[in-house]
Amino acid sequence: MKTMNFQNIKSISKRLISSIFLIGSIALSSYKSSACTASFTYSAGLNGHYSFTGTYAGYGPGLRYSWNAGDGSGWQNGGPNFTHLYVTNNTFTVQLAANDSLCYDTATVVITVSNVTSPCILSASYTYTIMPYGYVDFTSTSTGTVSYTQYFWSPGDSNQTYQGTTTFTHQYAHPGMYLAWLKVIDTGSAYCSDSIPNWVNVTTVDTAYCHIHASFTYVSGSNGQITFTNTSTGTHPGDTYTWGFGDTTSDAYGIGPVTHTYLYNGTYDVKLRVTDDTNMGGCYDSIIVPITITNACNLQASFTITYDTLTDNGQVTLTSTTNGANLSSQYYWTPGDGSPTVLGGSSITFYYPFNGNYTASLVVVNSGGCQDSTSMPLTVTEKDSLQACFTYISDSLNAGQYDFNASCSKGTNSDTYYKWTWGDSTPSDSGLGLSSDTHTYSINGPYAATLTIWYTVLPTIKRTHSAGRFSESSVTDTIHVTTVSGIKSITDASVYNVYPNPNNGSFRIAITGLTDTKNAQIRITNLMGQMVYQNNEAIANGQVTANINLPNATDGIYLLQITTAGNNYNTRIAIQK
C-alpha cells in the first residue's frame, strides 16, 4: 500500500538531491573547464517513452550524472543514459549535468513529445496481511489496471522477483523488516509501468521450526529429457515434494531425482514446492526456475496409403511422410490384419488376404530413442477372396432356437450372398447380405449347420455375371441342440396362415385348431431380440386372427411368437419393402 510517510520521504529525497546538486553546481562553477563536454541524443519509443543517450569527453574517474526531463518531475540521479515516460504531449527542455572532481558540464535539448496516445493511468499499490509461520499474503490494490496487466512481486528477502497475479504469498525464513516491491506493467497500447515499495515487519517466523528452503538442480539429457535433483534444505522426514514442469502434464511427487521428458522446444517454468505435512502444511517453501529445451524429440509420424486397383492381390503401399525423420530413422510397420510388425524402410507394401477394414500403424524411431507413432484406417476392396465363418448362440427365451451370425467371415462386401443350411432337413435360408439368421430346431440332437458365401459380383470386375458364384467359401459346424422342451411350431396347429409372407410390413395372421380358451399373446422381434410388436388377441372358437401393420420395420427376417396358456408357437416372417 502506498503510504503518506513513504511519499513524503520520496518527495523530501528528491528535493534534497536537487538542492545538493544545485549547491554542488555552484561550487563547481569555479572549476568549469572547456576540456570536458557533455551532450546527449534521444529517441522516441511508444506512447511517451523516450530514451536519452549521453556522450562524455574529457572527464576523469568518479563521473556523476543528473537528468531533468523538463516535465516537472525534477532532477534525477542516474547513469550515463536515461529513460523517461511523458504522460502528455508538449514541448519540454531536457537537461543533463555531468561532473567529476575537477570538471563539470551541462547540455540542454528542447524536444517535442507528440506520441502520447494512451496516457498511463497505472498507479501501483498493495496491502498485506501477516500470517503464521512467517507467511505474508500480499494483495494488489493498484488502479488503472486491465486484464493484461502484469504483476511482479519482490518480497525483499533476496534479489528474486516473481511474476504472479493480483495476489501473492511468500514465506520469510527470518523475522525482520523487509522492503517489498510491487511493479505493475501495462503491455497494451499504453505500454507503461508503475511500482511501489512498502516496509513489511515480519514477526511470526517460528525460528525453532520452519526453515525449509526449496531448491533444485537439473541435468539435460537427450530428446528433451531433464533430470531434476532436489537440493532443498531445512526439510523433515515425511515432507511432501511437488514438482510442476511448466507444460501441460500433471504434477509429479517425491523427493527425487525426478525425470521428465519435454515434447517441444521452448522455455518452461519448473516449480518445486516442499511442504512439511507434520505441521498441517504450516511450513512450506517453493521455487520457480525457468529452463530452456532445445533438443526435444520433434518426430511427428505420418504416412500415406496407396491402393493397387489393377490387380486382385490386395496390394496396399504405405509410405512414411514423417516430419523430423532422418537417415538413422527406423520404421516399424503393422498392417492391422493380425500379421506381425515388420521393420522396414520408409515405404512398404502389404498384401491383404481379404477385403475389409483394417487399422495400419507406424512407429518411427530415431537414434537416441526419439520416437513417435500413428495409426490410420484403410479399406481393402480389390481382393477376390472369401473365408466363411459363423458363430451361434442358443436363445434363452425360445426353446430350440439358435441365433447365427457370420460377421467373422472375411472378405465380404455388399455383393456377398449367404446360404444357411441347418442340417435338420428343413429348407435352407439364403439371401444377399443375409449375414445373420435364426433357426428353431424341433428335436434335440447334433446338427451339421453349414454357411456358404460367394460374390455375386467380383470386386475387381465390377460387373454382374448370370448365375455368378465367385470365390465361394463354406464352413460347417456341429450344433448340439439341447433346449427343445414342450415348444410347438405353428405347424402343430390344425390350420395356420401368415399372408402374405414375405410382405411389406402389413400382413394377416390366422390360426385355428387351438385348444386354449384364454387370450393369446402375439410378439414379433427382430434377430437382435428387439421387440417391434406386442399385443393380446382373444381366442374365439379355437382360433386367433389379427391384422398386423409394421410401417417402421426395416427389411429383414423377424420372429413371430404366439403364446397361449398351454403352448408357444413360433415361425419366421420376411419383410421386403
State the cell numbers at 104.
Answer: 563539470
Do 196 and 152 form a contact (C-beta atoms < 8 A)?
Answer: no
Q: How far apart are CA 207 and CA 173, in angstroms?
A: 8
pLDDT at 425 > cutoff 60: yes
The per-residue pLDDT for 1 is 29
pLDDT tens-digit map of 453-507: 998 887 765 544 444 678 889 999 999 888 876 444 444 444 567 888 889 999 9
The CATH code of domain 216-293 reads: 2.60.40.10
- For the chain, the average pLDDT equals 84
pLDDT digits (tens, 9 = 90+) for 10-48: 343 334 434 444 444 434 343 444 589 999 999 998 888
Tens digits of residue pLDDT in 458-471: 776 554 444 467 88
- Give the count of beta carbons closer than 10 Å to the beta carbon of residue 570: 22
How many whole angstroms separate alpha carbon 235 and alpha carbon 213? 8
* Spatial distance between the Cα atoms of 422 and 439, rounded to a whole number of angstroms: 7
Most confident of 252-256, 325-329, 453-457, 571-575: 252-256
Q: What is the pTM of this model?
A: 0.37
CA distance 76 to 18: 8
* pLDDT > 80? residue 235: yes
Number of Cβ atoms within 10 Å of the Cβ of 285:
23
The residues of the chain that CATH labels 2.60.40.10 are 4-113, 126-202, 216-293, 303-379
Cα separation, 329 vs 297, whole angstroms: 13
Asked whether 279 and 209 are in contact (CB, 8 A), the reply is yes
Rounded-to-integer distance, Cα 18 and Cα 78, Å: 13
d(CA 155, CA 174): 13
A 10 A CB-CB count for 336 gives 18
Q: Which of 143, 49, 31, 36 is CA-nearest to residue 96? A: 36
Which of 115-124, 156-165, 555-564 tops mean pLDDT? 156-165
Other residues' Cβ atoms within 10 Å of the Cβ of residue 561: 19
Look up residue 40 and give its three cell numbers: 546527449
**Cβ neighbours of 242 (radius 10 Å):** 16
**Residue 479: which of 514, 507, 451 has the closest Cα?**
451
Binned at pLDDT 50, 70 and 90, residue 125 comes out as very high
Confidence at 52, pLDDT banded by 50, 70, 90: very high
303-379 fold: Immunoglobulin-like (2.60.40)
Pairing of strands 488-489, 568-575: parallel
8 Å CB contact between 227 and 221: yes
Through-space distance between the first and last CA atoms of the chain, rounded to whole angstroms: 83
Report the CATH number of the 488-575 domain: 2.60.40.3080
Predicted pLDDT at 287: 93
Q: The domain 126-202 belongs to what CATH superfamily?
A: Immunoglobulins (2.60.40.10)
User: Band of the pLDDT at 209, cuts 50, 70, 90?
Assistant: low
In degrees, to the nearest 5, what angle opens at C-alpha 172 toward C-alphas 168 and 174? 165
Per-residue burial over 500-529, b = 16 or more CB atoms within 10 Å of its CB, e = otherwise: eeebebebebebeebeeeeebebbbbbbee
Q: Provide CATH 2.60.40.3080 ranges for the chain.
A: 488-575
SS3 category, 286: strand
Long-range residue pairs from 25-32, CB within 8 A, at least 24 positions apart, any chain: 25/97, 25/99, 25/104, 28/99, 28/104, 31/102, 31/103, 31/104, 32/103, 32/104, 32/105
Q: Does domain 391-481 have CATH number 2.60.40?
A: yes
- Of residues 131 and 1, the one with the higher pLDDT is 131
Sign (positive/negative) of CA torsion 510, 514, 518, 524? negative
Nearest to 280 by CA among 210, 346, 211, 231: 210
User: Given the DSSP bridges, would you call strands 162-164 and 81-85 parallel, antiparallel or unpaired?
Assistant: unpaired
The model's confidence at residue 189, banded by pLDDT at 50, 70 and 90, is low
* pLDDT band (50, 70, 90) for residue 283: confident
Q: Residue 371's pLDDT band (boundaries 50, 70, 90)?
A: confident
- At residue 20, the pLDDT reads 40
pLDDT of residue 290: 92
Percent helix, strand and coil across the chain, each rounded to 5? 5, 50, 40
Contact by Cβ (8 Å): 460, 478: no
Q: What topology does CATH give the domain 4-113?
A: Immunoglobulin-like (2.60.40)
- How many CB atoms are located within 10 Å of the residue 350 CB? 21
Contact 401, 440 (CB under 8 A): yes
